[in-house]
Amino acid sequence: MASTAHSRPSASRVDDDFVGVIYGDVGSTAFRCSVVGSVERHEFVQVRHDTCGTVLGRVEEVERKTDLSLERAQHVGDGEPVEVEEKVSAQVSVVGYRDDRGLLQFPRTPFRAGEPVKRADVHTIRKVLGLEEDKKHGAYIGLLAGHDVPVYLDINTMVQKHVSIIAKTGGGKSYAAGVLIEELMKHHVTTVILDPHGEYASLSERGKVAHGAERFRVEPRSYPDAIQVYSPDTKVNSGAKPLKFTLSNLDARDILSLTGSAKVRTHLTALRKALDLLRQATKAYTIRDIVRVLEREEDPQNATLIDDLEYLSEVEIFAQEGTRIDELVVKGKTTIINLKGVPPDIQELVVNRLATAMFELRKVGKIPPLMVVVEEAHNFCPQVGQVASSKIFRTLASEGRKFGLGLVIITQRAAKVDKNVLSQCNTQVILKVTNPNDLKAIVASVEGLTTAMAEEIQRLPIGVAIVTGGGVQMPLLVEIRPRETKHGGESVKVIED
């Protein structure tokens, strides 16, 4: 193999960070550079500009140009010795620089050919990308891919402007959500996790030392004191405290919202009347009692209402003394609502009731500001069709921020989540996605996502995310840090290793 054609400028001869030299026709937003050192796609480089000083760039593509023709390649195939001359070059796009006032700027004149290009130093990356190490307000989610630069997401921004975590199944959503929740626990942020598969209780267990963990400076630890688990089904989830609702605390409208009835207006009066009657007699009435009163009316209009109520009475989510929301939402604690084993429609009812109650109590300041994590969000706020919890999630997405109630929306089907909800998520953690409709939905909802980055989403390795928002100025590739706690979402293997 022949060596590359150019000689390195003497000043950089001993410099490991030297990448190469700008050549060819040079622009102010992009340029090509020869590559003598090693550099990979997406790495950050820096180069001097006549008037702007040090400017940050990103390697978009690395190419190996060779003089091996098709004809000579066939000779190689025949086992003949063939000399190949090759030159590596990189396409770099300009990210910008910070001016005197600290604002992100782009040069308006081209760079000079012959200018040395170096791997960007930590200081320049931090400054230009605005990646300050803010341990007090920031959630450490991982390292900037290819660099030893930790990425922190601003927790206040996340609560105020919501978060989405998107990946295909097995793409690392729950793992990344676990990382984020660990950071929320570390910062004593009040959190409620709506957990349909019972994956998150393992947050209270210490994890193992992950492969390559030193690089991330992460040590296994657990958060047993920060976590409480509630479940409507304590037979399946024996470690959990029971989650029950007090029937006598619910008015007619609440009960109708629990049934997910589409005909609230039709049934409201009848149900109110039935409740008034019962309340004159006792506080300890049951759903069956309500049904009995309604049946006595013999009004055919009540038939669907009676059906809905009978279904509710079978699922045993009511108790004489239900769970208080202010017991569930405790300042600085993380509460897992384990819905494992609960039928999907009942999950929607429970989630609807909880989300509604949390929003109402948050509005009047009876519970602390909090983050609500929603796994399998496409089931609770679908784009097509209406489920019991559809409406409250729209309300939370658009109004939650005013009251300090942030959402973390987790889904494998971006296209199937209500766009009104997804579009309100300002911080996005996007892992590997391959479904074209989901990619479209992501591109539509992420500001500043370049076509090249959108392409990249399909090729992301497990554990690498494109992260935007949360105080981060442009979409960045981030290697999600290892977990401190045990990851609970492992897929079940048919054949053991």
User: Which stretches of the chain bind Mg ion, using CB under 5 A?
Assistant: 174, 489
Q: Which stretch binds ligand ADP (CB under 6 A): 172-180, 270-278, 366-374, 401-409?
A: 172-180
242 binds, among ligand ADP, Mg ion, none (CB under 5 to 8 A by kind): none
Question: Residue 382: phi, psi to the nearest 5?
Answer: -75, 150
Our CB check for Mg ion shows the closer of 368 and 489 to be: 489
DSSP label of 205: S
Our CB check for ligand ADP shows the closer of 267 and 483 to be: 483
Residue 399 C-beta: closest distance to Mg ion, Å: 28
Instruction: Count CA atoms within 13 Å of residue 295 on its CB side.
Output: 10
Residue 168 C-beta: closest distance to ligand ADP, Å: 7
Q: Which stretch binds ligand ADP (CB under 6 A): 93-101, 168-176, 222-230, 267-275?
A: 168-176
Residue 171 C-beta: closest distance to ligand ADP, Å: 4
Bridge partners of 314? none
Separation between Cα atoms, residue 172 and residue 180, nearest integer Å: 12
Our CB check for ligand ADP shows the closer of 57 and 463 to be: 463
478 Cβ contact list (under 8 Å, min separation 6)? 141, 142, 143, 144, 145, 151, 464, 465, 466, 467
162 binds, among Mg ion, ligand ADP, none (CB under 5 to 8 A by kind): none
Residue 378 C-beta: closest distance to ligand ADP, Å: 13
169 binds, among Mg ion, ligand ADP, none (CB under 5 to 8 A by kind): ligand ADP
DSSP secondary structure string, 239-298? Answer: TSEE--EEGGG--HHHHHHHHT-S-HHHHHHHHHHHHHHHHHH-S---HHHHHHHHHHHT
Residue 455 C-beta: closest distance to Mg ion, Å: 25
Within 152-263, where are the H helices?
155-161, 173-186, 213-216, 252-259
Q: Does 169 bind ligand ADP (CB under 6 A)?
A: yes
Residue 472 C-beta: closest distance to ligand ADP, Å: 18
Give one word for 177, left, alpha or beta, with left for phi > 0 and alpha for psi -120 to 50.
alpha
Q: What CA–CA distances, in Å, run from 147 to 43, 141, 217, 228?
A: 8, 14, 14, 37
Instruction: Count CA atoms within 13 Å of residue 430 on its CB side.
Output: 34
Please choose, from the candidates 169, 153, 176, the residue with its C-alpha nearest in 3D space to the C-alpha of residue 487.
Answer: 176
Please choose, from the candidates 274, 278, 273, 256, the residue with its C-alpha nearest in 3D space to the C-alpha of residue 265.
Answer: 256
Q: Which stretch binds ligand ADP (CB under 6 A): 104-112, 165-173, 304-312, 420-428?
A: 165-173
Amino acid at 151: V
Separation between Cα atoms, residue 105 and residue 438, nearest integer Å: 33
Task: Tell me, by CB under 6 A, how many residues bind ligand ADP.
Answer: 15
**Residue 48: exposure state from Cβ atoms within 10 A (0-12, 13-18, ≥19):** middle
Our CB check for ligand ADP shows the closer of 178 and 322 to be: 178
Q: Does 487 bind ligand ADP (CB under 6 A)?
A: yes
Our CB check for ligand ADP shows the closer of 170 and 369 to be: 170
Task: Extract the tokens encoding 27.
Answer: 């622009």
Separation between Cα atoms, residue 178 and residue 193, nearest integer Å: 11
Q: Which of residues 342-401 bind ligand ADP (CB under 6 A)?
A: none
Report yes or no: 431 and 172 within 8 Å, Cβ to Cβ.
Answer: yes
Q: Does 416 bind ligand ADP (CB under 6 A)?
A: no
Residue 175 C-beta: closest distance to ligand ADP, Å: 3
Our CB check for Mg ion shows the closer of 60 and 205 to be: 205
Q: Does 150 bind ligand ADP (CB under 6 A)?
A: no
Please choose, from the candidates 190, 182, 184, the residue with its C-alpha nearest in 3D space to the C-alpha of residue 362.
Answer: 190
462 binds, among Mg ion, ligand ADP, none (CB under 5 to 8 A by kind): ligand ADP
Q: Which stretch binds ligand ADP (CB under 6 A): 162-170, 235-243, 286-294, 333-341?
A: 162-170
Our CB check for ligand ADP shows the closer of 340 and 363 to be: 340
Task: Extract the tokens encoding 82.
Answer: 């063939």
Q: Which stretch binds ligand ADP (CB under 6 A): 249-257, 323-331, 334-342, 483-491?
A: 483-491
Q: Which of residues 441-480 bind ligand ADP (CB under 6 A)?
A: 462-463, 480
Q: Does 175 bind ligand ADP (CB under 6 A)?
A: yes
Our CB check for ligand ADP shows the closer of 413 and 487 to be: 487
User: Kind and range of the H or E element at 480?
Assistant: strand 472-480
DSSP label of 301: G
170 binds, among ligand ADP, Mg ion, none (CB under 5 to 8 A by kind): ligand ADP
Q: Does 167 bind ligand ADP (CB under 6 A)?
A: yes
Report yes or no: 385 and 257 within 8 Å, Cβ to Cβ.
Answer: no
Residue 345 C-beta: closest distance to Mg ion, Å: 21
Q: Does 173 bind ligand ADP (CB under 6 A)?
A: yes
Q: Does 174 bind ligand ADP (CB under 6 A)?
A: yes
Instruction: Count CA atoms within 13 Å of residue 309 on its CB side.
Output: 25
Task: Extract the tokens encoding 344.
Answer: 């999907």
Residue 485 C-beta: closest distance to Mg ion, Å: 15
Residue 375 C-beta: closest distance to ligand ADP, Å: 8
Q: Does 130 bind ligand ADP (CB under 6 A)?
A: no
Our CB check for ligand ADP shows the closer of 196 and 482 to be: 482
- Contacting residues toward ligand ADP, per CB under 6 A: 167, 169-175, 462-463, 480, 482, 487, 489-490
